[in-house]
Every structure is written in C-alpha cells, then in structure tokens.
Amino acid sequence: MEIILDKVGRRFNREWIFKNIEYTFQAGKSYAILGINGSGKSTLLQILSGSLSPSSGKITYTFLGKEISVEDIYSHLSISAPYLELIEDFTLSETLKFHFNFKKRLNKISDEKIIEILNMQSSRNKEIKYFSSGMKQRVKFILALLSDTAILLLDEPTSNMDEEGVAWYHHLINEHTKNRVVIVCSNQVEEYKFCEEKIVIADYK
C-alpha cells in the first residue's frame, strides 16, 4: 500500500491550515504527524482517510500496483480517534460483533481473544456508556488495530490511558503492525516514539 500526496493543502475560509505537502507513505513503515494542538494534524489525518477533500493538490492510493479510488479506500483502512464515538448503548460484546460486520478480522481473531487482550472479561456484557474514558479508548484502539486493513490511522491513541495502558499500546503496536502503513497524530512522545518518519505540520504553513 502507498499513499502519495502531491502538493496537498487544506484551507478553511481564507486561511491555509497547511499547503504543498509532497510525501509518500509506504507499507511496513510508521509515521508521526506532529504539531501543537490546532495545528492541523487531525485535518491531515481526515484527508488521508478520504473523509475530507484537500483544497489543493492530489492524493493517490495504490495497493498491489493498482490505484484505489478515494471512494473505496475506507475498506483498506481503520482509524482510532477521540472524535469517533462508540455506540454507548451497546455492550462490549455487541460492539465487537457490530464492528466486525463491516471490517475483516486480523488473523481471524475471535471476540473471546479480543476481550482477553483488552482484559475486560468481566465487562463483556456491560454497556459502553458505563465504561471509564480509559476503557473506551482501549476499545477504540483495539477495534482499529485488529481490523485487517493495510492502513492504520491513530489520532492521540493513548489519550485517557494510564501508564500501564501506554505500555499495553506499545506491546500491541509492535505485535500487529507488520507490513501496514501506520500513521500516528500526536504531540506526546510516548505515543509516537516507535515511528521511523516524522512530518511536522509547521513545515507546511
């Protein structure tokens, strides 16, 4: 999988958030998109996901040598972000079944195994609205990570997680991201310290 940005920019009204980004994201590598709060990290991630169009330039996706249209890229990516909400009235078990109706499971992993990885065996039948913010964040992350997708997009992936949760995050990233394009938006070093490449939004103002 490759994501190719050709002079990509985005503006709101007359203000450019960023412009002229020329960059290629490749499978098997991890990337950090860095910048202060409000700098445009999440905006760039939404452009990469196909949910937001660039104001200038072009984005191209290729998979196994074939170009993928922006309308179809959703099936090749998974995303975890604070602004993406879980369905609060679903239990954890119902959340997993619902999600994997739309996404293939990485390595055909079972719901039972996912609940074990989450260490939430006693919460399998609890509604999400009764989960702590840290538990919700773990669920969002695991749904993205364990979907069988070539692209993994993570926006502030450990927000609301404690120190143990951050260690858990790094263990799973190391175990489940081989041969994927991994892109992390963050201004917290602990979230992106494993990333090989860094893109600083301020360089494209």
The tens digit of pLDDT for each residue in 44-60 reads 999 999 999 999 999 99
pLDDT digits (tens, 9 = 90+) for 139-167: 999 999 999 999 999 999 999 999 999 99
Give pTM, 2 decimals. Answer: 0.94
Whether the per-residue pLDDT at 65 is higher than 90: the answer is no
Nearest to 27, CA basis, from 59, 65, 75:
65
Q: Single out the residue of 144, 147, 153 nearest to residue 51, CA to CA.
A: 153
Across 92-96, average pLDDT: 98
Cα–Cα distance, 100 to 44 (Å, whole number): 26
**DSSP-derived secondary structure for 74-96:** GGGEEEE-TTSPP-TTSBHHHHH
Instruction: Identify whether the C-beta of residue 152 lies closer than 8 Å to the C-beta of residue 81.
Output: no
pLDDT confidence band for 82 (50 / 70 / 90): confident
Any idea how long the chain is? 205
The domains found in the chain, sorted by start residue, are 2-204 (3.40.50.300)
Distance in angstroms (rounded) separating the CA atoms of residues 34 and 199: 6
DSSP state letters, 101-155? TTSPBGGG--HHHHHHHHT-GGGTTSBGGGS-HHHHHHHHHHHHHTB--SEEEEE
Joined tokens for residue 166: 């951050």
Residues paired with residue 31 on neighbouring β-strands, in sequence order? 183, 197
